[in-house]
Amino acid sequence: MHRDRQPLQWAFPTTAAMPDFRAHCAPAERDPREIRLSFEESHHLVIVNRANRGDTVVAFDGHGTEWICELADDNRSAAVLKVRFPQKAKPLPFAITLGQALPKGPHMEAIVRKATELGAAAIVPLESERTQVHLDGDRSDKKIEKWQTAALEAAKQCGNPWLPEISPVQNAASFMEKVQGFDLKLIASLQPGAKPLKTVLAAFQSAQNRAPKKVLWLIGPEGDFTPAEMSVAKSAGFEPITLGPLVLRCETAAIYALSVLSHELQGG
């Protein structure tokens, strides 16, 4: 589920160097000579982005592998790319999972986009006691598909060769109790006693003589997690972290939390 990676400025090309066209693919062969795009990707490349035959296209599988290609057939429903050469993106030395309580309105889609741009390894949508959005059955599946599409679009735009894994919606307290496999488990908190991120990271560095490689950060809904949920989190080993003196909207908190944590881990 989690994968080690290298800092963002090392792994992704700069905007100036980034090719104009990117397309997601899942080739059946390990070393394909040509790649046939899906209907959706063909339509997006040829109709939306207006790519023409002979244009350079970077195809990527979302797992760090890219193929530098030439658009050989600009069929709007079945485009074909001729592979020039493959390349493998270097992984980040840390993986951040965002556990996000579902916000109202379209904000979750925006959070997924920004989390992808910031290099999150995984996103776990959570239903908490104060969550006002509840998804069941087909509605949940459709939402996950929509978030996956948002992540893919964001990856194309920013040149991220890695797509975050988006988990099914889970109950927040149950997730807190059972989740394992992280060096650090953090939870954004408005309650007194929450520590600054730098303090917690410095304590880990001092105790382990290294920076954490796998970090989970939970962000609550409007109104934050309830005291009962915070108690569950503390019992499960989560460190309450303050995001400063101001009360942030949940979508702002998610972007802020991922940004500062990525910055600190890159510096570490």
**Which of 88, 106, 126 represents a domain boundary (last residue)?**
88
Residue pair 6/93 in contact (Cβ under 8 Å)? The answer is yes
Q: Among all chains, which residue has been given the structure tokens 């599988």?
A: 61
Statement to judge: residues 104 and 202 lie in one domain: yes
| Domain assignment of residue 122, yes or no | yes
**Which of 60, 88, 116 represents a domain boundary (last residue)?**
88
Residue pair 59/47 in contact (Cβ under 8 Å)? The answer is no
CATH number of the CATH domain containing 248: 3.40.1280.10
Task: Flag whether pLDDT at 19 surpasses 90.
Answer: no
Statement to judge: residues 59 and 119 lie in one domain: no
pTM of the model: 0.87
Task: Flag whether pLDDT at 253 surpasses 90.
Answer: yes
pLDDT at residue 137, rounded to an integer: 64
pLDDT at residue 3, rounded to an integer: 42
What's the length of the chain? Answer: 268
Statement to judge: residues 25 and 40 lie in one domain: yes
| Domain assignment of residue 168, yes or no | yes
Mean of per-residue pLDDT scores for the chain: 89
| Domain assignment of residue 257, yes or no | yes
Instruction: Name the band, by pLDDT with cuts 50, 70 and 90, for residue 84.
Output: very high
Statement to judge: residues 79 and 171 lie in one domain: no
Q: What is the mean pLDDT of residues 107-123?
A: 95
Burial status of residue 108 (CB atoms within 10 A of its CB: 0-12, 13-18, 19 or more): buried
Q: What is the mean pLDDT of residues 125-151?
A: 84
Statement to judge: residues 236 and 104 lie in one domain: yes
What one-letter code names the amino acid at 206? Answer: S
Per-state percent for the chain, helix, strand, coil, to nearest 5 = 35, 25, 40
Instruction: Name the band, by pLDDT with cuts 50, 70 and 90, for residue 11.
Output: very low
Statement to judge: residues 31 and 160 lie in one domain: no
| Domain assignment of residue 32, yes or no | yes
* CA distance from start to end of the chain: 23
Statement to judge: residues 77 and 103 lie in one domain: no
Statement to judge: residues 61 and 110 lie in one domain: no
**Cβ-proximal residues to 5 (8 Å cutoff; 6+ apart), any chain:** 11, 90, 91, 92, 93, 94, 95, 119, 121, 162
pLDDT > 90 fraction of the chain, expressed in percent and rounded? 74
Statement to judge: residues 84 and 141 lie in one domain: no
**Which of 59, 88, 117 represents a domain boundary (last residue)?**
88
Statement to judge: residues 124 and 48 lie in one domain: no
Total count of domains within the chain: 2
Statement to judge: residues 236 and 259 lie in one domain: yes
Residue pair 118/259 in contact (Cβ under 8 Å)? The answer is yes
Task: Flag whether pLDDT at 182 surpasses 80.
Answer: yes
Q: What is the mean pLDDT of residues 92-120?
A: 93
Statement to judge: residues 153 and 49 lie in one domain: no
**Of the candidate ranges 98-102, 141-145, 165-169, 192-196, the one whose mean pLDDT is the lowest:** 141-145
Return the closest-CA partner of residue 124 out of 146, 104, 100. 100
| Domain assignment of residue 35, yes or no | yes
Residue pair 193/232 in contact (Cβ under 8 Å)? The answer is no
What one-letter code names the amino acid at 80? Answer: V
CATH number of the CATH domain containing 56: 2.40.240.20
- Expressed as residue numbers, the domain containing 233 is 95-267
Of 110 and 6, more confident = 110
Of 136 and 211, more confident = 211
Give the separation between CA 126 and CA 106, rounded to whole angstroms: 15
